[in-house]
Chains A and B, each alone.
Chain A
Amino acid sequence: MAIRWGNYKVSHLHDELIEKAGKPRDYSKDLCEYLHALSDKEINELKVASESAIHTMGITFRVYHEEEGSIDRAWPFDILPRLIDAKEWVEIEAGLKQRVKALNMFIDDLYNDQKAIKDGVFPADLLKNSKNFLKECKGFSPPHGVWAHICGSDLVRDDTGQVYVLEDNLRVPSGVSYMLENRQVMKRVLPEMFQKYNILPVDDYPSQLYDMLAEMSPRKIEEPEIVVLTPGIYNSAYFEHAYLAQQMGAELVEGTDLVVEDDDCVYMRTINGLARVDVIYRRIDDWFIDPEVFSPDSLLGVKGLIRAWKAGNVALANAPGSGVADDKVVYAYVPQLIEYYLGEKAILPNVPTYKCNNKEERDYVLENIEKMVVKPANESGGYGMLIGPHSDKKEHDKFRKLIKADPRNYVAQPMLILSTAPTMVGTKVEPRHLDLRPFILSGKDVKVTTGGLTRVALVKGSTIVNSSQGGGSKDTWIVQMEEK
């Protein structure tokens, strides 16, 4: 039995591929027709092919707190791609660039003049209570004023088809390697579609990342020494660290491979003795990066790294302290910040967000908590949240108390009906909710990946897309349609 698009339910929400029952969107017509023509046996063969590609390619991710033996799981991957029209993408790309530019200006402002606070655009007490504001970075400004060189912003679409930014990840966002690997798998599994469609390539990312990092080198030399600093093989994103280092031809180093000497320069231990390091793409959180300044018991970091960075002898991406903007309360101010710094209207809207530090907004949240999603300011990975409509009264009361006790730490958003895309369940397709994480590189120029990592909730009705909580992923195709 083949896939029957007529049985695919799309009512009351926006589906990425299917407009209404039995009717694919313009850009997904060819794909849907191709899939429709496949027999169950052929669909199974495609799945087996993708699983075996993932298996042999060793694409894994790590889940913490699991018993030994299952720590490295095969990357959960759905063979049906998610398609986006290139015309729509142009707009999204412009919106992301604008957003990240403003965020970088904001971070630079916070550590220096704090004009946004003086001009009343951003409340001073919010900054005072910010967990990720590093006083050690005050009065400092990295080259080009760029702090968050690599940003991963999460996008969602609601039932009307409107795209929103859900959050910005400015610390050590992961997922880009899976975006690249998903494409490799798809090329093995659905080569026919790559002939049929004009799919914009993503393979460029590692070289763009390399160029951006090389550009940051304090020593203006032909081949600066670039390294990727990882916490090690037990980190959940180690696969990605190794992958990016390999793709860039950079050294993958751990804290113990690096040393800061008396000259405030960073060196790595090599078979030739010490070798100077110019640029560090660090994938270790601020708090562990330098035991001299932060967590003194960190074994992951490098003693003296901040000293070397402030002396201008090494470049760090992302700059320490950029996490100050990776805060769900700051997020709520981004549209205003865009207007303030760039004098433009935000192209991509935020999900409507209620800031609990504001009395009126807080009261609204407390009264309507059963309809809202409540998020703590600085958690990631979907932890510590309340999903109002899916919780009971006890949970609602618990969060009311939490909000009253620490209003600054919470924001709330109305529950969106996320868009769906057809996802394989056995040999049939069913709608599953998804989001999208594009990656934005900021150097002298700003570059956005063509597409990004689409994460999909594999459980029916669920909106939890995090791979650590059972989510999967899809390849994301930005397709250029021929003008008719």
Chain B
Amino acid sequence: MLSRVANSLYWLARYLERAENTARLINVNSHLLLDLPTSVKLGWEPIVDILSFRDKFYETYDVADESSVIKFMVVDKEHPGSIVSSISSARENARTLKEIIPREAWEQINELYLFATENSADAFKRRTRYQYLSKIVLANQTITGLLAGTMTHDEAYSFLRIGRNLERADMTTRIIDVRSASLLPDVENESAAFRNIQWMGVLKSMTAYQMYRREVRVRINREDVLEFLLLESRFPRSLIHAIEEVERCISELPHNREAVDKTRILRTQLVNAKPAQLSQEKLHEFVDDMQAGLIEISDKVTETYF
């Protein structure tokens, strides 16, 4: 398999996953804002922060209000991290992969791009936003399903999964980091209901709420949420699941010693840290370590195969 092709597959999956996660995140934030009292200033800035785009954002926009953040994160073509840009990059990669990925998958990616660009105005109105973003999430799930169900699970497929899961792991750590930090101190004095709503938001932005309830059953609380999102290896969007997926996929590739080692180290680090019990400050450090580890894996994959 061509190195260039492997590289494109990897990025195709990353871009798609990024678009999907961003869509989830914005959808949840929109809903959360409706539930929280106005005194709790959750606002839209955390979205920009989660994705580490603070500097980039303030280059073009003055205030992080609803419409500017939506513009920046959903439709801004100048901003490579926006949903439309991510989908467009995914499509450009897919275009060079038409001979590799199943035709239906290309058609879906193409349609997703057309849908996202042609209907981008829907993102601004609260009434239509939910549907617009949900459709993006759903289209991505369709693509993932099509790839899983119609593509030979060979090396090409492994590169897709590596890209998808590294992106997913990255996003999980980001959401936990910023969302838990933005649980403002004064919220402690507010009623517990609102505190829980925020943790619920974290779960929902990763579509983990329902699965969490099935698994944990007790009231939502920080420790259990962290435990679930970081260490529940049976939940497909948890950090440990993503890392294990990456490890499995790399194991099937040639010349994989060093890259596999990197994933094992990170996995051990994750389990040993008992992250759910960490204080807020320590948790932030831990997340930083995890992200550094993910970058190391990504670099190793790039160096070995692309």
A positions within 8 Å CB-CB of B:
55-58, 233, 242-243, 245-246, 250-254, 256-257, 268-272
| B interface, over-half SS | helix
Residue B305 interfacial (CB < 8 Å): yes
- Residue of B2, B3, B155, B304 with most chain A CB atoms under a 10 A cut-off: B2
CB neighbours of B54 from chain A (8 A): none
Does the CB pair B3–A271 fall under 8 Å? yes
Contact A233 B98 (CB under 8 A): no
> Which listed residue, B96, B100, B107, touches A58 by the CB 8 Å rule?
B107
Do A246 and B2 have beta carbons less than 8 Å apart? no
Report whether B6 and A271 are in contact in the complex, using a CB–CB cutoff of 8 Å.
yes
**B2 with A245: CB separation less than 8 A:** no
Minimum CB–CB distance from A184 to chain B (whole Å) comes to: 10
Docked CA distance A233–B1 (Å): 19
CB <8 Å contact, A242 and B2: no
Partner of B96, one of A55, A233, A243: A233
Bits for B90-119, please: 1 = Cβ < 8 Å to A, else 0: 001001101110010011001100100000
Cα(A127)–Cα(B98), bound, Å: 42
- With contact pairs A56-B107, A57-B107, A246-B99 given, residues A233 and B3 touching in the complex (Cβ less than 8 Å): no
A247 to B, closest residue via Cβ: B99
Question: Can you list 7 A-B pairs, Cβ within 8 angstroms, ordered by A?
Answer: A56-B107, A58-B98, A243-B99, A250-B99, A252-B99, A256-B4, A272-B255
* CB proximity to A under 8 Å, residues B211-270: 253-255
- A58 near B92 (CB under 8 angstroms)? no
Q: Could you tell me the distance between the alpha carbons of A156 and B99 in the complex, rounded to whole angstroms?
A: 34
Q: Which of A56, A254, A272 contacts B254 (CB 8 A)?
A: A272
**Which of A56, A58, A233, A253 touches B2 (beta carbons < 8 Å)?**
A253
Task: Give B residues with C-beta under 8 Å from A.
Answer: 1-6, 92, 95-96, 98-100, 103, 106-107, 110-111, 114, 155, 253-255, 304-305
Contacts of B305 in A (CB 8 A): 271
CA–CA, A475 and B304, complex, Å: 47
Q: How far is the CB of B219 from chain A (nearest CB, A)?
A: 47
Task: Please report whether the interface of chain A is mostly helix, strand, loop or mixed according to DSSP.
Answer: mixed
Complex Cα gap A421–B1 (Å): 46
- Also in contact, A271 and B99, with CB within 8 A (given A58-B106, A58-B107): no
Going nearest first, the 10 A-B pairs with the smallest beta carbon separation are: A246-B99, A245-B99, A242-B98, A271-B305, A58-B110, A269-B3, A271-B6, A272-B254, A252-B99, A56-B107
> A250 CA to B6 CA in the complex, in Å?
15
Q: Report B193 CB to chain A, min CB distance, Å.
A: 47
Of B103, B110, B254, the contact of A271 (CB 8 Å cutoff): B254
Known A-B contacts A254-B4, A272-B1; the reply to A233 vs B106 at CB < 8 A is no
A56 touches B111 (CB 8 A): yes
A272 to B253 CA separation, bound complex (whole angstroms): 9
Q: Which of B2, B100, B103 contacts A257 (CB 8 A)?
A: B2
Determine how close the nearest CB of chain B comes to the CB of A200; give it in whole angstroms.
24
Tell me whether A271 and B1 are in contact in the complex, defined as CB-CB below 8 angstroms, given that A56-B111, A58-B107, A58-B110 are known contacts: yes
User: Across the two chains, which residue of chain A brings its CB closest to B96?
Assistant: A233
Q: What residues of B have a CB within 8 angstroms of the CB of A233 in the complex? A: 92, 95-96
CB distance from B255 to the nearest CB of A (A): 8
Whether B110 and A56, one on each chain, are in contact in the complex, defined by CB atoms closer than 8 angstroms, is: yes
B2 in contact with A243 (CB, 8 Å):
no
Flag if B253 contacts A271 (CB, 8 Å): yes
Given known A-B contacts A56-B110, A58-B107, A271-B305, A243 and B98 have beta carbons under 8 A apart: yes
Residue ID in chain B nearest A72 by CB atoms: B95
Interface centre among B3, B6, B155 (most CB of A within 10 A): B3
Task: List residues of chain A with CB within 8 A of the CB of B255.
Answer: 272
Q: Determine whether the beta carbon of A242 is less than 8 Å from that of B99.
A: yes
Least CB separation from B301: chain A residue: A271
A272: B residues at CB distance < 8 A: 1, 254-255
Expressed in whole angstroms, the Cα–Cα distance for A254 and B8 within the complex equals 13
The chain A residue with its CB closest to the CB of B117 is A69
Contacts of A254 in B (CB 8 A): 4
A245 → chain B closest CB, angstroms: 4
Roughly how many angstroms separate A251 CA and B156 CA in the complex, as a whole number? 13
- Chain B residues contacting A270 (CB-CB under 8 Å) are 1-3
With a 10 A CB-CB cut-off, give which of A233, A245, A257, A272 has the most chain B CB atoms: A272
Closest to B104 in A: A56
Q: Which residue of B lies closest to A246 (CB)?
A: B99
Residue on B nearest A57 in the bound complex, by CB: B107
Q: How many angstroms between the C-alpha atoms of A5 and B5 in the bound complex? A: 52
